[in-house]
Amino acid sequence: MFDYSTVEEKAAEWGITCRHVQNLCRDNKIEGAVKRGGVWFIPNETSSPVQNTKSGLGPFRFEGTKKKIFENAIQLFMHEGYENVSMQDIAEAVGIRQSAVYNHFKSKQELLETIYDFYIHHWLYNRLTLNDIEKLFETESLFDVITKGFIYEFDKDILVQMSGIASIVFQRAATDKRAADLLMRLNLKEGIEFVEKALNRAIEVGRIAPVDTHTISVLINCSRIYMLLWWIIDPPQEVFQKALKDEQALYKIAASLLTDKKLADTELTATKPPGA
């Protein structure tokens, strides 16, 4: 079994829950996954099946009392700290009995895990797929591809929740392995890999000249982390707008490091003398 990983190992690597991985195996969404003795095993080199597609990543929304519990828990965990909040505190914030909270979430830990899952789902769901970005390379400028293809846009209500969860993740990263893995694998590693794959594809189809795509991907992802930190630490609109200008400047630098072969070929054709 040296060539295979367990569900637990892949869940940690991909930043999703074990149940999510098991469901993907059951639904034949993970190529090469095998079930032996009632336990799923996944090939070591298998990449996350949820990184580059929106399939299976529904809106992950809650309604009614469950939504109120979820939203109030995020605010309480963010402002008071997870360890300092009880299920009774959450119930009081919602205006219900504590027993009613357990009708929706079996424990405070399950509630926290659901918050993490929500963050992962929307982080991946609210961006373009690699196929979408490849289409942008056919028609848009390199700067527009970067600004349209590599940013994350959320509905207003989702934006508030994502901001709160991001704060929780950063707070807990030093003591909570799941939060640390989520921050490392989703916000850092996966974000860089996603941009790098898109740029490598642009090279393959002849849109940009060969370049150090990893370094440019790090630059683009760092600008995203820069915005995320401003978003968490100092969210007033005027501060955010200033950070946004800085982000645009970083994107311009990233775009300037790419040689647009489509533009270069057009300019070369325009400068050729008639009949050449």
- Spatial separation of the C-alpha atoms in residues 134 and 151, rounded to whole Å: 15
31 lies in the same domain as 76: no
**DSSP, res 258:** S
pLDDT the model gives residue 22:
82
Instruction: Report the predicted TM-score, pTM, of the whole model to 2 decimal places.
Output: 0.72
CB 30 within 8 A of CB 12: no
CB 104 within 8 A of CB 65: yes
User: pLDDT band at residue 123, thresholds of 50, 70 and 90?
Assistant: confident
Phi and psi at 40, nearest 5°, equal: -85, 140
CATH of the domain at 207: 1.10.357
pLDDT: which is higher, 19 or 190: 190
CB 40 within 8 A of CB 34: yes
Helix intervals (H) in 108-212: 108-125, 130-139, 142-149, 156-172, 177-182, 191-204
User: pLDDT band at residue 150, thresholds of 50, 70 and 90?
Assistant: confident
254 lies in the same domain as 134: yes
Q: Which amino acid is at 54?
A: K
208 lies in the same domain as 132: yes
CB 146 within 8 A of CB 255: yes
Q: How many domains does the chain have?
A: 3
For residues 179-203, average pLDDT: 89
Residue with tokens 């994107």: 251
- pLDDT tens per residue, range 175-184: 999 899 888 8
In-domain check, residue 169: yes
143 lies in the same domain as 224: yes
- Spatial separation of the C-alpha atoms in residues 232 and 78, rounded to whole Å: 10
**Kind and range of the H or E run holding 34:** strand 34-36
- Spatial separation of the C-alpha atoms in residues 181 and 154, rounded to whole Å: 23
pLDDT at 251 over 60: yes
In-domain check, residue 129: yes
Highest mean pLDDT of the ranges 240-244, 251-255, 260-264: 251-255
For residues 191-219, average pLDDT: 93
User: pLDDT band at residue 52, thresholds of 50, 70 and 90?
Assistant: very low
- pLDDT tens per residue, range 13-48: 776 667 778 878 887 878 888 888 788 889 888 877
In-domain check, residue 55: no
106 lies in the same domain as 128: no
pLDDT: which is higher, 59 or 92: 92
pLDDT the model gives residue 48:
72
25 lies in the same domain as 140: no
175 lies in the same domain as 255: yes
In-domain check, residue 52: no
pLDDT the model gives residue 31:
81
CB 29 within 8 A of CB 62: no
For residues 237-263, average pLDDT: 86
In-domain check, residue 188: yes
- Where in the sequence is the domain holding 86, given as residue range(s)? 64-113
87 lies in the same domain as 179: no
pLDDT at 270 over 70: no
- Spatial separation of the C-alpha atoms in residues 15 and 95, rounded to whole Å: 33
CATH of the domain at 98: 1.10.10.60
Nearest Cα to Cα of residue 67 among 160, 139, 186, 152 = 160
User: pLDDT band at residue 8, thresholds of 50, 70 and 90?
Assistant: confident
- Spatial separation of the C-alpha atoms in residues 102 and 111, rounded to whole Å: 10
143 lies in the same domain as 220: yes
- Spatial separation of the C-alpha atoms in residues 91 and 68, rounded to whole Å: 10
Name the 3-class secondary structure at 83.
helix
In-domain check, residue 48: no
187 lies in the same domain as 83: no
In-domain check, residue 265: no
pLDDT the model gives residue 223:
86
For the record, the structure tokens of 68 come out as 């109120």
- Spatial separation of the C-alpha atoms in residues 208 and 201, rounded to whole Å: 9
Q: Across the chain, what does the average pLDDT equal?
A: 83
pLDDT the model gives residue 259:
92
Nearest Cα to Cα of residue 105 among 74, 144, 137 = 74
pLDDT the model gives residue 216:
95
CB 136 within 8 A of CB 144: yes
191 lies in the same domain as 242: yes
79 lies in the same domain as 172: no
